[in-house]
Amino acid sequence: MSEINNLTIPEIATIEEIKDEIVEVKTFYLKFDARPNGEPPAIKSGQFVMCTVFGAGEFAVSLPPSPQKDRFHLTVRRVGKVTNALHELKVGDKVGIRGPFGNGFPFEEIKGKNIIYVAGGIGLIPLRSSIMHVMQNKDKFGRILLFLGARTPKELMYEYNLKEWKTAPGFETHITIDNPVPGWDGEVGFVHTMLKKKNIPVKDTVAFVCGPPMMFNAVIKELTELGIGEENIISTLERHMKCGIGKCQHCAIGRTLVCTDGPVYTFRQIKTLGEQI
Amino acid sequence: MNYKSGICTFCGTGCGHLLDVRGDKVHGVFPLQNHPVSKGRLCVRGWNVHELLSTPERITTPLIRKNGKLTEASYDEAIAYLVENLSKYKKGAADEIGFLASPRSSNEENYLLMKLARAVFNTNNINLDSEPGHRTTLDVMHNATGMAGMLGSLEEIRKAEVILVAGIDITKQNPIIGSEIHMAARAGAKVVTIDTRNTQIAKLSSTFLQIRPGAYRIAMAYMAKVLIDEKIYDAEFVKRNAEGYDAFAASLSSLSDADVAEKTGVTTDELKAVARDLAGAKTAMVFFSSGISGFPKETVSYILNLFLLAGKIGREGCGVNPITGINNLQGSYDMGIAPDLLPGFQAVSDKAALDRFGKEWGVSLNATPGKTVYDLLATNKLKALVVVDHDETIIRNAIEISKLDFVAFMGAYKHDCMNYAHVVLPIAEYIATDGTYTNTERRVQLSKKKVEPEKGILPGWKLYATIAAKAGAKWNYAAPADVMAEIAKLTPNYAGITYDKLQALGGVKWGGARLDADKLPKKLSFAAVAGNFAVPQASEEYPILLLVGEAQHYWHQNNLMKKTNLPLREYNATLLLYPQGYVAISPQNAKELNVRDRFPVKIVSPYGSMEAMVQVTDKVKPNTAYVAYFVDEMVTKFFMEHKDVLKRGEDATIPVRIAKV
Amino acid sequence: MYLIKKSQVSDIAKELQKEYQVYGPVVDKETKQTMFVKADDIAEIDLAAPIPAVPPKHTVFPHYERIMAYNYDPQSKKVDINPDFDDKPKALFGLRSCDLTGVICLDRFYLGQEFVDEVYKNHRKKMFIVTNTCNVPFKQCFCVCTDSGPSAREGYDLNLTDLGDQYLVEAGSDKGKALAEKLGLAKADDSYKKKKEEIVDESILKFDSIAKDNKAWVSRVVNRVTTGLIEEKTWEYIGNQCIECGACSFVCPSCSCFNIVDSCTSATAADRIRTWDSCSYEGYTRMAGGHNPRKPVEDRRSKRFFCKLSYSQSKKYLRPGCVGCGRCQWVCPGDIGLPNVVTYIRREIQK
């Protein structure tokens, strides 16, 4: 990773396209000004970058899979001052990018296994990167399942991907919303309650879980009860980050730094971190 | 050396620091080890003061509103514009011109602003924004002891055997004073906290009495009664030094144990134990907040009387100590920033004093006390208003201010009040000029000039002198030291104070280290009290008592803190979690309401209603709720209907009902 | 090893001044406070001064510094980014060994992990370090408990030891040797090695009678801190006394946490500012959106002591993070400097 030359000073990227996802969430497609054909640096799925919005500040954001699989883009929810400023930008505007940083998903270690994705709300943003990677390499894995929960149909992310995944061979999707609403004929109920109903594989299975804390805890409980070991549950953590390179220490959890040791951890690791997550 | 000594100008503690000054930039700060008060410590605000001093959000040029827009102007133009407009109302100045001074300005600047108002623009309408708070306390102190300030000494905290902390979250509001109390506790002092909330200092105290809202007064009165009933008060001290004992003792006769226990929510045995400790100790001090969330007059009077009775006034290690929230609040009153006061707490109506000022200034002064800007705004007579660098609470009167004919704003940092101003005059930051600040314990300290003012911006004293000159007055000050010389000449308690003497670390305390019972010009007197012990009552309709108070880092709509990063972040740690403001309730009430932290609720009082998020905390007792009064929504929408509540300070309690939204 | 007359020791600093900005312990005339600062005049530097209130950390990691400035023109879509790294040559003259140890911790942390911190690297790359052996400890010192004094063992270019009328000068690097040779210092024979050892041994013996303010038997608590087997109520007791001022982190020679903010000079231009930060602050871990994993103050307190005292953190410094200078105890409004915390943990262990 030492070839990264944007550790401290961001490189400039241009916003090529902006896609509205759901309320308060947009996807920004970027081109790197100083790289051949605007192509991004090498990325491992599960990594993140630090994005500078000029005149506002910098924030950490998870990445799509490697550039071969999709154009470089950031899906960002409007939560604070900086993300707010980003949402105000238009196509053609510039942002600064440092990274990619972080460990990425451990695809090598989980070759040949069944994969279950469990995402709640915008928890799909980081997991989507992994899903896309796995979809491209379906032959290397066993059964692939996605459980996706949202409060309402309006809060379902990446509809265009969902449409594609629903019909993709060898890929099972289960989408649920919290409460029934008119016009929704899909599943209803919290996402963790789906797991036992759907007879998921347990042996040789790895689960990727991402979502708000309440949902996360409920899902972990179900999965472990079903017999999926803590070491086979993978998640990606979010933290207040400033430097991205393991120096500022804002993202320290116990003895690890989310920016360099993470953001991807197994649940077993998370449990031993000795702090709230 | 690039570290230059100075005084922290955030709160009333007046800690010493060293600023890392390189050229005209401040790159850091470090605590001053030999400072008599702070002894090498600073709080989160003090440790990040350089962020304020580096902010780009400064006012860098005079501005005049043209066609609705503030436009760059020269000082000459802007000052001429100001003088021309103010002069229009000079005839009716008693009603039409008002000055809102800042408790953050130096003594010299406030003195000159006061002089500008009185001697040049013919008005006594000059005030701060803390009339219900510190002024009330000063009146009680002044009437009873002749000293309009804190009676004890911060340097003597570690000499106090018993320390009573009443209704002040002192480790958050004035952290270094809180630290001194904590250190005294660690060295064996008995710290007793009486508060409605379980604050940090409560946790660090040997005794914590969590009383019901609004019950400070009756608790203090009862302890006084215990001293008398058990004959353990300092009878000799009272006889020799004080007047008015009989009337005070008589006022306590109506108190019954059962009533006290019910109203305070603590047992009378607990209160008796504190009273006995107070009487038994050789030395004792009491601390309470004196800012806008301070106590009402009656409560302060009972505190003072209790300590007078115990003989814990006027001796080393003793004192009644109101604590100011803002750095120069005490100094501002010392400088006569009040419609009815001249410097040194001399009354405007005191003809001899007024004549002294008139003679020195070469004008004849108006002997009729003025009115506060807020009173003037309420009567719709005010035409022109001058505002100096201030917390943004003033904008609670935005509607009235926007209707005025003329508004001038002067200050170092950008401020929302500029939106209403017709002219804006920048003032250099405090480190760009000499100036003195008087901390909560009457300590006058010199903050020396460390950098050149930016792009020829005038320091406040020079700006006021220039305005005076433009208006035809002849003032002659070459430097702030000359202003201090004049202050010392006209202000009895500042007599003898010179910049030379102030060079010493820690400056000079007017009135001595503490009130001295052996050198009293006249006898002390018990403060007159009404003997009314009513407390706010909850009812079936409004079962929860809502308290109004302060919160960490951020007093009022603190304009300065908004210009920093780390302190702002710490403040935001609370406020960003609760963007609509918060109301703190107990876990039990949360359970009853079926709400969790950050759930929205509606708070309904007999006067109005508002929505906020709940903060669930064990700091408040069941059936009490707490709201930090700085929260925007509360001040501008809720409190506007509660002016009388605001005036009652920390005892301010509103019966409410809270409902889930 | 070399020798230099006491009256001539400032020649070393003067020689350094030709090439470097020279920093050293200076006693402020007005406040009598010793600060480790850039000396405008070498005569200001006082090698016998008490341990500086401010550690030399700020020479490599300033309290407040601009690391870049940018300006974005939304019309022309042009971005100007100007890195602003400070690589001025600096000489630290008269550093105490605890403070040098702090710099070594910072070196290993900023330069020795997966990534190199460029800002720090620039501060550090042209630096000359002259340490000064403590013949007598100060009252707050406990470097003997943290293996960081009273004399420096590595990391210096020159080390001075007061021999009475002269200083023993040890060269710790080629750069140091070259300077000693250039100044034509007299060579010291091997007997001086023994002499220095005696001085150091004597100094250590003096800790019992002089360095009475703090005792911190760090080694006894490292295991507990690492395994986390410390009772919640001990942390709560400590946390209750924390006033959240951040001072402990700011005065610590090895504390490295920083904050980064864009101090905006216009809607699209800013200075990117890096400042000291402290894990004791509530906002330190709060994320945009409000979730704060480390809200209770005791959580934040335990974090700092974990950083100073655990094996896992020591792996980054190759030694304990605490260097035994005692400053945190000086500045703490809550009286919970590291030595006191170590005492509370030991008290719990003994129970």
List chains touching C (3+ CB pairs under 8 A): A, B
DSSP B72-124: E--HHHHHHHHHHHHHTTSTTHHHHEEEE--TTS-HHHHHHHHHIIIIIS---
Q: For residues A118 and A230, state if they share a domain.
A: yes
Q: How far is CA A268 from the centre of its chain?
A: 19
Q: For residues B172 and B302, state if they share a domain.
A: yes
Q: What sign has the CA pseudo-torsion A181, A185, A190, A191?
A: negative
Q: What sign has the CA pseudo-torsion B206, B207, B213, B214?
A: negative
Q: For residues A243 and A119, state if they share a domain.
A: yes
Contact between C56 and C104 (Cβ < 8 Å): no
Which 286-325 residues of chain C touch chain A by CB within 8 A? Answer: 286-289, 291, 293-294, 299, 303, 306-307, 310, 312-313
| pTM higher than 0.80 | yes
Total number of residues shown for chain B: 661
Domain span including residue A73: 3-101
Reply yes or no on whether the pLDDT at A120 is more than 60. Answer: yes
CA distance B661 to chain C (A): 21
| The token pair that represents C269 in the structure block | 């231009």
Q: Of all helices (H) and strands (E), which one includes residue A118?
A: strand A114-120
- Please calculate the CA angle A152-A156-A157 and round it to the nearest 5 degrees: 155
- Bridge partners for B99 per DSSP: B126, B386
CA distance C124 to chain A (A): 16
Angle formed by the axes of helices B460-470 and B107-115, nearest 10° = 10
Of B3, B47, B598, the CB nearest to C250: B47
List chains touching A (3+ CB pairs under 8 A): C
Q: For residues B80 and B171, state if they share a domain.
A: no
Helix (H, G, I), strand (E, B) or coil at B209: strand
- Cβ–Cβ below 8 Å for A240 and C286: yes
- Cβ–Cβ below 8 Å for B31 and C240: no
CA distance A187 to chain C (A): 29
Q: For residues A90 and A115, state if they share a domain.
A: no
ipTM over 0.85: yes
Q: For residues A120 and A154, state if they share a domain.
A: yes
B35 falls within a domain = yes
Low-confidence ranges of chain B (pLDDT < 50): 552-554, 640-642, 650
Total number of residues shown for chain C: 351
- Please calculate the CA angle B111-B371-B89 and round it to the nearest 5 degrees: 80
Burial B468-506 (b: 16+ CB within 10 A, else e): bebbebebebebbbbbbebbbebbebbeebebeebeeeb
Q: For residues A53 and A145, state if they share a domain.
A: no
Reply yes or no on whether the pLDDT at A170 is more than 90. Answer: no
CA B318/CA B516 separation, integer angstroms: 10
Exposed (0-12), middle (13-18) or buried (19+): which is A201, by Cβ within 10 Å?
middle
Rg (C-alpha) for chain B, rounded Å, is 24
Residue where a domain terminates, one of A51, A75, A101: A101
The number of folded domains in chain A is: 2
B330 falls within a domain = no
Which residue, among A234, A241, A237, has the nearest Cα to A49 in the 3D structure?
A: A241
Please report where in the chains the tokens 């060079």 appear, as a residue: B503
Residue where a domain terminates, one of A101, A129, A150: A101
Q: How far is CA B121 from the centre of its chain?
A: 27
Which 237-266 residues of chain C touch chain A by CB within 8 A? Answer: 256-262, 264, 266
Please report where in the chains the tokens 């002749």 appear, as a residue: B146
CA A178/CA A190 separation, integer angstroms: 5
Contact between C19 and C126 (Cβ < 8 Å): no
Which residue, among A72, A73, A68, A75, has the nearest Cα to A133 in the 3D structure?
A: A68
Which residue, among C304, C336, C334, has the nearest Cα to C322 in the 3D structure?
A: C304
Contact between C242 and C336 (Cβ < 8 Å): yes
Predicted confidence at residue B338, as pLDDT, reads 97
Residue of C nearest to A13 (CA): C79
Q: For residues A8 and A65, state if they share a domain.
A: yes
Q: Does C265 touch chain B (CB under 8 A)?
A: yes
Of B56, B179, B565, the CB nearest to C333: B179
Judging contacts by C-beta atoms under 8 Å, the chain C residues touching residue B3 are: 28, 35, 37, 54
CA B564/CA B559 separation, integer angstroms: 10
CATH of the domain at A138: 3.40.50.80
DSSP category for residue B636: I
Q: For residues A92 and A124, state if they share a domain.
A: no
CA distance C62 to chain A (A): 14
- Bridge partners for B423 per DSSP: B64, B408
Reply yes or no on whether the pLDDT at A5 is more than 90. Answer: no
Exposed (0-12), middle (13-18) or buried (19+): which is A36, by Cβ within 10 Å?
exposed
Q: Give the 3-state secondary structure percentages of chain C, helix then strand then coil, rounded to 5.
A: 40, 20, 40
Q: For residues B181 and B292, state if they share a domain.
A: yes
Residue where a domain terminates, one of A58, A85, A101: A101
CA A175/CA A159 separation, integer angstroms: 11
- Cβ–Cβ below 8 Å for B50 and C63: yes
CA B340/CA A70 separation, integer angstroms: 74
Which residue, among C187, C192, C185, C196, has the nearest Cα to C161 in the 3D structure?
A: C196
- Cβ–Cβ below 8 Å for C83 and A9: yes
Segment A146-150 shows an average pLDDT of 92
Q: For residues A135 and A258, state if they share a domain.
A: yes
Domain boundaries along the sequence of chain C: 2-350
Total number of residues shown for chain A: 277
CA A254/CA C322 separation, integer angstroms: 18
CATH of the domain at B22: 2.20.25.90
B212 falls within a domain = yes
CA A163/CA A173 separation, integer angstroms: 10
Burial B127-140 (b: 16+ CB within 10 A, else e): bbbbbbbbbbbbbb
Tens digits of per-residue pLDDT, A179-228?
888 888 888 889 888 888 888 888 899 999 998 888 888 999 999 998 99
Percentage of chain C exceeding pLDDT 90: 77
Predicted confidence at residue B126, as pLDDT, reads 97
What are the residues whose beta carbons fall under 8 Å from the beta carbon of B151, sequence distance 6 or more?
A: B141, B145, B313, B314, B319, B320, B321, B514, B515
Domain span including residue B185: 153-317
- Cβ–Cβ below 8 Å for B175 and C245: yes
Predicted confidence at residue B247, as pLDDT, reads 95
Judging contacts by C-beta atoms under 8 Å, the chain C residues touching residue A81 are: 288
Q: For residues A95 and A124, state if they share a domain.
A: no
Q: Of all helices (H) and strands (E), which one includes residue A161?
A: helix A159-167
Q: What is the 3-state secondary structure (H, E, C) of B553-615?
A: CECCCCCCHHHCCHHHHHHHHHHCCCCCCEEEECHHHHHHHCCCCCCEEEEECCCCEEEEEEE
Low-confidence ranges of chain C (pLDDT < 70): 287-301
Q: For residues B289 and B211, state if they share a domain.
A: yes
Reply yes or no on whether the pLDDT at A3 is more than 60. Answer: no
Tens digits of per-residue pLDDT, C235-252?
899 999 999 999 999 999
Residue of C nearest to A59 (CA): C288
Q: For residues B313 and B185, state if they share a domain.
A: yes
Q: For residues A18 and A95, state if they share a domain.
A: yes
- Cβ–Cβ below 8 Å for A7 and C260: no
> Dihedrals φ, ψ of B166, to 5°?
-115, 110
DSSP B473-501: -----SSHHHHHHHHHHH-GGGTT--HHH
CATH of the domain at B251: 3.40.228.10
CATH of the domain at B76: 3.40.50.740
What are the residues whose beta carbons fall under 8 Å from the beta carbon of C202, sequence distance 6 or more?
A: C135
| The token pair that represents B20 in the structure block | 């890392």
Q: How far is CA C282 from the centre of its chain?
A: 24
Of C38, C53, C64, the CB nearest to B33: C53
Which residue, among C44, C34, C48, has the nearest Cα to C13 in the 3D structure?
A: C44
- Cα first-last separation, chain B: 59
The number of folded domains in chain B is: 4
Q: For residues A185 and A158, state if they share a domain.
A: yes
